[in-house]
Structure 1
Amino acid sequence: MTLDLPKGRAPSIRDVARLAGVSHQTVSRVLNDHPSIRDSTKAKVLQVMDDLQYRPNRAARALSRGRSRTIGLLSAESAYGPASSIAAIQDAAQEAGYYVNTANLTSVDTESIEAALEHLMYQSVEGIVVIAPQVRVFDALEQLAIDVPFVTLQSTGRLDNSLSVDQMTGARRATRHLIDLGHRSIYHLAGPQDWIEAEARMRGFLDEMWEMDVPTMAPILGDWTADFGYRAGRELLRRRDFTAVFASNDQMALGFMHACREAGLELPRDMSIVGYDDIPEAAHFWPPLTTVRQDFAELGRRCIALLLSNLSGGVPMDRSDPIIPELIVRGSTAPPAF
């Protein structure tokens, strides 16, 4: 059995699959000792690996020990919320005696997600955490067979073992704060339409406005950036038919505040603004930003606890109590000046 490889390149899992006449997913399952693999297929794959001297060292060590003490983390975004979730998961995993191996997606198509999962499986991860804010990532996950327990941090209601912050409640609290101050003309700068969290925050805003019988203006779909908040602010302030804004994240709120200052408005006397996330800089905006804080440390702790409960095969963790965000009131909101 021979294989022509470019000089200096070691055999890959796809080389093993090609010579064994199986898929690369099957080779991955052999590496992870998956029970669904027939003995004859396993023997053939192991023989090809031996012939090619293909030895993924980390996987081999993990198989010999039976445990890798490694959790895979599939991430599709580097914005503040997902990045904070990653840091919290790493801290919680370390406290539980696990390492975290991260695969970052540069694209969220099915092929890229499959390749990232394959990379994690090479490391013999015992379980996987998926931080995927976009709906299309979950569309792809539903089409793939993941051979180890996994937990997702943004729940669409379509997959089991999911955890999330109650984004709708956070948005309702932000909106109710503005209404309680006396605002009745409120715009919402929403996040991208495909984002699960953006959709939940927009739904919370609309539900609170409806329940409080406040006329609703159509939300404006943004892209999370301060640049968008600034551009949207410049356009909206030409009409000035509102007294407050709820932005779906702090960066867009910052851009909107810039547009207000450029227009000669004083915050919060002439305009109130609420953000979301409570990024570390939010307390140092001028004025300091009223915003919604998420408990990422608790989210990371629950995520690892849920994954480890699945790995142990014990009593499933109770996920009935959602993580409720906290409204942080600072200096960017006040009653409207009529």
Structure 2
Amino acid sequence: MTARAASMSDVARLAGVSSQTVSRVSNNSDSVTTETRDRVVAAMNELGYRPNSAARALKSGRFHSIGVLMFTLETLGNIRTLDAIAVAAAEKGYSIDLISMLDPSTGTISTALSRLDEEAVDGIIVILETHELMESAIHFPTRIPVVIVDSQLRKDYPSVNADQEQGAALAVRHLLDLGHPTVWHVAGPESSNSASMREASWRNILQSEGRTVPPVLRGTWGADSGYRAGLEIAANPDISAVFTANDQMALGVLRALHEAGRRVPEDVSIVGFDNTEESAEYWPPLTTIHQDFAGAGAQAMSLLFDAIEGREVPSGVRTLSTDLVVRQSTGPYIAR
């Protein structure tokens, strides 16, 4: 004979509380003391009781699930942002429903959003730093709140992004302040918002300072594309300073320069972007721009929970400040 599953009344009886208190604990209510909550949770674990999420949703109007739509899990920034989202969700008793897409086209984005809308989530975080988000053809759900991370193109929704222009300006001005006559740039892919904003800021700073704007060297975010750009840089003895759009491409540039016998920073100074954990271990340790990926994820979740709980969340971009981290890959310009 199959044993009867434990009920809420069973938990209440064992914990010495009311069924209402068990319900409050199941719904992560703040009106329960820590001591009582611990006693109820212990009783749940002893009896093997699991709250009925469907019944809770019908009663509360919430599913305690957050949909997350993102382009890729291969970049460090996305992983750090997703980790912060997961931590914030867990603290509120929410789960994550993740969709990771390899093809961030307008049609696939709309389809993925529609799928999340149908899968009983209370809100959606979109992490897609491509130009596709500016397409009006993308249909965002209207019944649930949406917050966008890493895009400044959809100002009709709440969004969070690092100050890309500020970060690039810090990198370029650092190199100019060291006396370098101009700064070359290894840019990210043209489809990327972040890459476009960093490239535009690099160009604007050089133009405002009356410096020559060199041709852009285009990469794909990967170290291999940085290496290919680095071969061109190494072959040009007039290049003394390089700003790469991320740390991984800077790693490839460093390798190419090393193989060509060009010293860093004596011959060429390099600044990256992202401040990955490994950047301090490059040789030489990489000067780079720090952006707070975890902070972006946490702030996005804070905005989303405000909206879920009925508080007003104005649309528009919330920018997070960036910082210059100076290490040994940059040095004063030495005239040749």
User: Structure 1-normalised TM-score?
Assistant: 0.78
Give the Cα separation in 2 of the matches to 1:169 and 1:65.
43
* Alpha-carbon distance, 1:240 to partner: 2.2
SS in 2 for 1:164: strand
Deviations 1:194-237 (A, max 9, x none): 10000111111112212222221122221111111111111232
Query: Is the CA contact (8 Å cut-off) linking 1:305 and 1:317 kept in structure 2?
Result: no
* Alpha-carbon distance, 1:100 to partner: 1.6
Percent of matched pairs sharing the same residue: 37
Corresponding residue number in structure 2 for 1:128 = 124
Corresponding residue number in structure 2 for 1:117 = 113
- Equivalent of residue 79 in structure 2, options 83, 98, 111: 83
Distance 1:111 1:322, change over 3 A: closer
Query: Is the CA contact (8 Å cut-off) linking 1:226 and 1:253 kept in structure 2?
Result: yes
- Equivalent of residue 107 in structure 1, options 95, 103, 106: 103
SS in 1 for 2:185: strand
After TM superposition, the structure 1 = structure 2 runs for residues 1-338 of structure 1, keeping only pairs within 5 Å, are 62-63=57-58, 65-78=60-73, 79-139=75-135, 142-153=138-149, 154-316=151-313, 322-338=319-335
Give the Cα separation in 2 of the matches to 1:336 and 1:75.
41
Q: Give ranges in structure 1 of 5+ residues lacking alignment.
A: 1-56
Query: Is the CA contact (8 Å cut-off) linking 1:104 and 1:116 kept in structure 2?
Result: no
Report how many aligned residue pairs link the two structures. 282
Query: Is the CA contact (8 Å cut-off) linking 1:230 and 1:258 kept in structure 2?
Result: yes
* Alpha-carbon distance, 1:60 to partner: 7.3
User: Which amino acid is 1:209 matched to?
Assistant: L
User: Which amino acid is 1:98 matched to?
Assistant: Y
User: Which amino acid is 1:68 matched to?
Assistant: F
* Alpha-carbon distance, 1:58 to partner: 6.8
Give the Cα separation in 1 of the matches to 2:218 and 2:142.
33
* Alpha-carbon distance, 1:266 to partner: 1.6
Query: Is the CA contact (8 Å cut-off) linking 2:107 and 2:138 kept in structure 1?
Result: no
Give the Cα separation in 1 of the matches to 2:211 and 2:172.
11
Report which stretch shifted further, 227-236 or 152-161.
152-161
Give the Cα separation in 1 of the matches to 2:139 and 2:160.
20
Corresponding residue number in structure 2 for 1:37 = none
Give the Cα separation in 1 of the matches to 2:185 and 2:272.
10
CA RMSD of aligned residues (A): 2.2
* Alpha-carbon distance, 1:260 to partner: 0.3
Corresponding residue number in structure 2 for 1:31 = none
SS in 1 for 2:88: helix
Give the Cα separation in 1 of the matches to 2:315 and 2:111.
32
Distance 1:117 1:201, change over 3 A: same
Give the Cα separation in 2 of the matches to 1:134 and 1:106.
12
Give the Cα separation in 2 of the matches to 1:281 and 1:123.
38
User: Structure 2-normalised TM-score?
Assistant: 0.78
